[in-house]
Amino acid sequence: MRRKIAFMASVLEIVISALVLVAIVIAGVRTVGEVAGIAFSSNVADDFNTVLGHALNLVIGVEFIKMLAKHTPGSAIEVLVFAIARQMVVQHTTPLENLITIVTIGLLFFIRKFLFVSSFGAHRPDEGEGTESEPAAPGV
């Protein structure tokens, strides 16, 4: 019974990843059109900010798909870093919010560098102990 539930969860992850990938492709095509529209825009700064936000959303979507595929804590940390950085870059935040964002990103890098245990989550449940799903990142 547990194997069936785990299999169904894996199938759902694949379906969700496929749907997100389709959305990324559609949004990517629209973003390319927006980039071309900047050349003829009267408000370049705002349009560039919009394109930047959309581009960072695409990057977060790609990292999300990688996180679902890899099943490692490191990929989850990468998604969090991109999502938090996007908030700071695209939104007009207060100095206090900027400070909190910078401290949070620094904390995530600290966790990745010093507290990340490479063997934790390095193996998918359906893989053997001798097979790693992802090589260790340099410096980790």
- Residue 59 sits in which domain range? 2-115
- Reported as a pLDDT band with limits 50, 70 and 90, residue 131 is very low
Assigned domain for 136 exists: no
Assigned domain for 44 exists: yes
- Higher-pLDDT residue of 91, 133: 91
Assigned domain for 58 exists: yes
Distances (CA, A) of 83 to 9, 23, 76, 107, 133: 25, 17, 11, 14, 24
Quick check: 10 pLDDT over 60?
A: yes
Number of domains forming the structure of the chain: 1
- Reported as a pLDDT band with limits 50, 70 and 90, residue 93 is confident
Query: What is the pLDDT, as a whole number, of residue 74?
Result: 84
Assigned domain for 138 exists: no
Quote the pTM value.
0.72
Angle, CA 35 vertex, CA 34 and CA 37 arms, to 5°: 60
